[in-house]
Chain A
Amino acid sequence: MDKNLNSKNSSSSPSSGGGLVQYIKDVFNGVKSLLVGLRRTMYYFTHHKEIITEQYPDNRATLVFPERFKGEVVMTHDENNEHACTGCTACELACPNATIKIITKFDVSPEGKKKKAIDKFVYHLELCTMCNLCIVACPTDAIKMAQTFEHSVYNRADLTKILNKPGSKIREGVE
């Protein structure tokens, strides 16, 4: 029986020869490594304190996002309802999915000079992949990524957003 075992396993043992001693070593090492794994999971099972999952709707008020979490593109407005978008369309060109469409108009200044400005900054949230390229492309930091994420709506049209607030205008000095 013993001899039989020996010859059978010396040829087949994965760790090249060694015979019965190696075979028994393999078995012991295998069992040992399995026990190490079992001990780890048993530790987790018996130390049921730390929970790594977010209990989402319950902890909505206290949710903490990682710094780089990207939820949607927004345009920053200051207290005077002024933004920094010059309508240069760099973001529109940078966008891989044609998520952004900028409609421009011409403002007439008191001196009678025409100046290009945005009429509507159209943002299609349903097409956006949150790749951040528009934010990188923007020369005046007019847009940024917000950390909102509850974007579900009943009507697809609601996902098409106008980012510049009504009545807003470009901040003085931004070119």
Chain B
Amino acid sequence: MGKLWEVFMLSFSKISQLIDSWLRATFNATWTMVIEMVIAGVCVIGLFAALGLVLVLMERRVAAWIQIRLGPNRVGPGGMLQSLADTLKLLVKEGMTPDGADKFLFNLAPFIAMMVAMLLMAPIAFAKDFQLWDLNIGVLYISAVSSLMVISILMAGWASNNKYSLMGAMRSGAQIVSYELSAGLSILTVVILSGSLNLNEIILSQSDGWWIFKGHIPVIISFVIFIIAVTAETNRAPFDLAEAESELTAGFHTEYSGMKFALFFLAEYINVFIVCAIGATLFLGGWMPFHIGHWEGFNHVMDFIPSSLWFFGKTFFLIFLIMWFRWTFPRLRIDQLLNLEWKYLLPISMFNILLVTVMAILGWYF
């Protein structure tokens, strides 16, 4: 029984430590480094593939249930293998490049999208002491790199040599430039309260309560603004003007087919995962278990749930929230979109950050 419990509690950090010590004992320092990098790369790619399959299926299922349908139910038990079958189909399809397209940029764009998504994985803490790169400016790094996403979209839209693609790309550019601001400001509220840009330290500062509980209404407001802004940043409905099926066929990826389309598709879901992971880290305490004040017994039970489960649970909760938005709200027009940002979200978040600063100085939080 004790043995079983040990295996069950074998956390990601322990596994990584075991691998690290074994490699150090077997190889010299340089080779250890190289092998660990390869392992990390393979793990990230594996996580990407798994996330793509799971999130596409989850999205279709959530959409179906919200629309009183069943959703995928033919391939595999209960339709579980539907997204796997779709991936196989996309793999064997021809990836065409249009004649009038800028061939180099056209083929480069999907890989940039994927690379940005991969870069964003680096500073995320998936479990206790389990992180690819413990960066002391993690928050800054994420907000800087995530805005590179738009380059791949602009590249795809421009290189396609197609008016729909270009219009989608331009809309996406306007959208990301605007919504970056309120996303950044809402992240700043947590940075102000925790006094650190390091994601690990931010998580540790939430050991006595998540910021969304400790920070009262101002943090809740900034959490809401964060969710709205990242929904816009990842180009998901109701802010999916960049692909707007009904107006622009498929926006920036109109001309893409086969695996190149699949990369864009995958990048969208990976980005959703990443922004939700960041939201969970900043506002919901990352891998920190849920604790209530001085309920020792309750807190002890919560501690037994592995930290990775906490992290993924919170992340998937936020992903569900974003999917819920997608299947509830109608798409905004471009002027409404910019109005929402510049006339509502930005002023509110600026006022909110002032409030949080006052709160942090006077210590009005738990």
Contacts and interface: CB of A to CB of B under 8 A. Distances in A.
A and B co-occur in one complex = yes
Interface of A: 1, 5, 8-9, 12-14, 26-27, 30, 34, 37-38, 40-42, 44-45, 48, 50-53, 55
Nearest to B345: A27
Given A37-B328, A42-B324, A1 B351 contact: yes
A5 B328 CA distance: 31
B68 A27 contact: no
Nearest to B320: A45
Interface residues of B, number: 20
A5 B347 contact: yes
- B interface: dominant SS: helix
Contact of A55 (B70, B328, B339, B347): B70
Contacts of A13: 343
Contacts of B344: 26-27, 30
A44 B68 contact: yes
Contact of B328 (A8, A12, A41): A41
Nearest to A9: B343
6 contacts: A8-B347, A13-B343, A44-B66, A45-B62, A51-B68, A51-B69
Interface of B: 62, 65-70, 324-325, 327-329, 339, 343-344, 347-348, 350-351, 354
A9 B342 CA distance: 10
B345 to A, nearest CB: 10
A9 B65 contact: no
Contacts of A41: 66, 324, 327-328
Nearest to A58: B73
Contacts of A12: 343
A45 B347 contact: no
Contacts of A38: 324-325, 328
Interface centre among B328, B329, B344, B354 (most CB of A within 10 A): B328
Given A1-B351, A8-B347, A27-B344, A34 B329 contact: yes
A122 to B, nearest CB: 39
A40 B328 CA distance: 9
Nearest to B67: A44
Contact of B66 (A30, A45, A51, A53): A45
Contacts of A51: 68-70
B69 A53 contact: yes
Contacts of A14: 339
Contacts, number: 47
B65 A45 contact: yes
B61 to A, nearest CB: 10
Given A1-B351, A5-B347, A12-B343, A37 B68 contact: no
A140 B348 CA distance: 73
Nearest to B238: A34
B351 A5 contact: yes
Given A45-B66, A52-B68, A52-B69, A1 B328 contact: no
Nearest to B327: A41
Given A51-B69, A52-B69, A9 B347 contact: yes
A136 to B, nearest CB: 36
A66 to B, nearest CB: 19
B340 to A, nearest CB: 9
Contacts of A1: 350-351, 354
A63 B347 CA distance: 56
Nearest to A34: B329
Contacts of A40: 328
Contact of A27 (B325, B327, B348): B348
Nearest to B343: A12
A80 B276 CA distance: 72
Contacts of B348: 27
Contact of A50 (B68, B324, B328, B329): B68
A26 B66 CA distance: 28
A153 B67 CA distance: 33
A127 B337 CA distance: 46
A45 B344 CA distance: 30
A9 B351 CA distance: 14
Contacts of B327: 41
Contacts of A52: 68-69
Contacts of B70: 51, 53, 55
A98 B67 CA distance: 41
Contacts of B69: 51-53
Nearest to A46: B65
Contacts of A44: 65-68
A90 B65 CA distance: 50
Nearest to A49: B68
Contacts of B343: 8-9, 12-13
Given A51-B68, A52-B68, 20 more contacts: A1-B350, A1-B351, A1-B354, A9-B343, A12-B343, A13-B343, A27-B348, A37-B328, A40-B328, A41-B66, A41-B324, A42-B324, A44-B66, A44-B67, A45-B65, A50-B68, A51-B70, A53-B69, A53-B70, A55-B70
Nearest to B228: A34
